Structure 1
Amino acid sequence: MTKYLLGAAFGALLAGQAAATDLGDLTEAERGAFREEVRAYLLENPEVLMEAIAILEERQAAMEAEAQARAVVDNRDALFNSAFDHVSGNPDGDVVIVEFLDYRCSFCRRAHPEVTELVEADGNIRIITKEFPILGEQSELASRFAIATRIALGGQAYELVNAGLIAMRSDVTELSLARLATDLGLDSEAIFAAMTDPLVQDTINYNRELASRMGITGTPSFVFGDQLVQGYVPLPNMQEIVSILRETSQ
């Protein structure tokens, strides 16, 4: 990335000169002299290069934000209205947050209590959970178990299992999942039976395809209103984002 930025910054620096002088018309000796002149100038004035890099980084960030906002708009229905996902918090909340999560992801574990605190303290946030297992077989088994719980036992049971899987530190196996269900007072046999339902794999496939279209490659990833944020977001930052969303919607 740094090499790219340096090259692009150098190109930007030469843009004005290139507009005034067609470098293709210069002789090899003249081009060599011109390159040496530019090199000497940059060595004497390195702050120019840093300014050019800063401008390029700002433009790149703006382009990335625009692309992400466009991805949210293009996939709005799949993000906010999919029947595959569990909705919690306030179903009629004025702010919607979508979270792509993997139960084996350490940053998802770090984010979970803060997302919970945000939603419970606010009282007017609709949270949509998207099962997005990307960290191997144990991640997929955990997601399949969570989705099957929702199918077999409903949303409240899903929320219990969701929190339990996030907190689980042991390996995810059928035995550890059965133990989790028992500890939560849930019917493990009903859950395991539901894991063969095609809807379980359909849910995972749907979310993976959606993530691919949006360029989401890691967890946790959030959509706050029309803003995609990939990676862990501390509670104060989430609170600020929610506040800004409310202000801009008025």
Structure 2
Amino acid sequence: MTKSLFQRNLHLPLAFTLLAGVFFMPLSGHAQSTDQFTPQQRKEIVSIVRDALKNDPTILEDAVIAAQKARTQQKAESATKTLADKKNVLNNVLPTDGFIGNPDAKNVIVEFFDPRCPYCKKVLPELIQLVKDDKNVKVIFKIVPILGENSVLQAKAITAAARQNGYVVMMKAIMDSKEEITEDTIKTIANQQKLDGDRLIQDMKAASITQALEDNVKLLRDLGIDGTPALVINVSKIIPGAVSYDTLKTIIQNKASDK
């Protein structure tokens, strides 16, 4: 049977790439749109690829792996750009952030955390110990309430406490609490920490508090981070998940030697 000009000139890898573009175009952004082909040409592409998959099903697996690699590379490039663009935001303590350690420390760790995240609760003592042992380390806390409405409530309380210079003490008290966190318990905890509980509850309702939390979540997503805790070291290295004290110390030492 005589092949059409399109069939004679279309190699199998290209045919599969074009078809894969239908599925993976959002990941790479470089695939050719099938709108450029006639219905007959699209039919021929599908037929060629279908026959190839029957003979070698691993072709599809290879395509999925390639798409995943492209997605990973795209996320890495996007994160690198975001780190550069948001250097000032990540390097400095904003009015809605908390921090521990030496304010003038050369090594800066930014922790994105959710107050209800069990792994965030686990890593907090490690960060506190690190800044006690190393006076050249500062930890900046950015709350990202991604675990539901109760996370939002707790995040607002901690962020609002910054207006009374009580961010860190409120953060520790809430994350250590075994009680169900409500507005009433927040007020009680605030008073126990020598803060004005009534003022705190009022400040939690401020639009600027809500906006700060939304900005934190957007920054987290722009960095390609999907969960908490997540650490950014010296605005250059992103570490997802909880890490031990020893690992943190080693990373800081290595980053310091790179300067």
Please indicate, yes or no, whether the TM-score normalized by the shorter chain is above 0.5: yes
1:70 positional shift? 3.6
Q: Which residue of 2 aligns with 1:73?
A: 84
Q: Which runs of 4+ in 1 moved over 6 A?
A: 57-64
Asked if the contact 2:96/2:160 (under 8 Å) is kept, the reply is no
Query: In 2, distance between residues paired with 1:161 and 1:103?
Result: 11
Q: Which residue of 1 aligns with 2:239?
A: 229
Residue type of the alignment partner of 2:250:
E
Listed as ranges, the matches of 1:6-85 within 5 Å are 68-81=79-92, 82-85=94-97
Query: In 2, distance between residues paired with 1:60 and 1:150?
Result: 38
Asked if the contact 2:78/2:223 (under 8 Å) is kept, the reply is no
Q: Which residue of 2 aligns with 1:17?
A: none
Q: Whose helix proportion is higher, 1 or 2?
A: 1
Structure 2 gaps of 5+ residues are 1-12, 14-50, 58-67
> Is 1:248 aligned to residue 258 of structure 2?
yes
| Deviation per residue, 1:187-212 (Å, 9 max, x gap) | 21111121122221111011112112
With the length of structure 1 as denominator, give the TM-score of the two structures: 0.71
Q: Which residue of 2 aligns with 1:182?
A: 191
| Deviation per residue, 1:90-137 (Å, 9 max, x gap) | 111010100011110000000000010011111111211101111011
> Is 1:192 aligned to residue 201 of structure 2?
yes
> Is 1:122 aligned to residue 131 of structure 2?
no
Structure 1 gaps of 5+ residues are 1-10, 12-31, 40-56
Residue type of the alignment partner of 2:199:
A
| Deviation per residue, 1:35-86 (Å, 9 max, x gap) | 98x99xxxxxxxxxxxxxxxxx999988865654343223222322344322
Distance 1:178 1:101, change over 3 A: same
1:245 positional shift? 0.9
Q: Which residue of 1 aligns with 2:211?
A: 202
Q: Which residue of 2 aligns with 1:216?
A: 225
1:184 positional shift? 1.9
Asked if the contact 1:68/1:227 (under 8 Å) is kept, the reply is no
- From 105, 129, 133, the counterpart of 1:93: 105
Query: In 1, distance between residues paired with 2:146 and 2:73?
Result: 28
Query: In 2, distance between residues paired with 1:64 and 1:184?
Result: 41
Query: In 1, distance between residues paired with 2:99 and 2:125?
Result: 17
Asked if the contact 1:69/1:228 (under 8 Å) is kept, the reply is no
> Is 1:103 aligned to residue 115 of structure 2?
yes
1:89 positional shift? 1.1
1:232 positional shift? 0.7
Q: Which residue of 2 aligns with 1:138?
A: 150
SS of the residue 1:100 aligns to: strand
Query: In 1, distance between residues paired with 2:190 and 2:156?
Result: 14
SS of the residue 2:181 aligns to: coil
| Deviation per residue, 1:130-152 (Å, 9 max, x gap) | 0111101111100101111112x
**Higher RCO, 1 vs 2 (CA within 8 Å, ≥6 residues apart):** 1
> Is 1:170 aligned to residue 179 of structure 2?
yes
SS of the residue 1:219 aligns to: coil
Asked if the contact 2:109/2:139 (under 8 Å) is kept, the reply is yes
Residue type of the alignment partner of 2:193:
L
1:166 positional shift? 1.5
How many residues of Structure 1 are paired with residues of Structure 2 in the alignment? 213
| Deviation per residue, 1:210-230 (Å, 9 max, x gap) | 112111221111101110111
Moved more, 81-90 or 190-199: 81-90
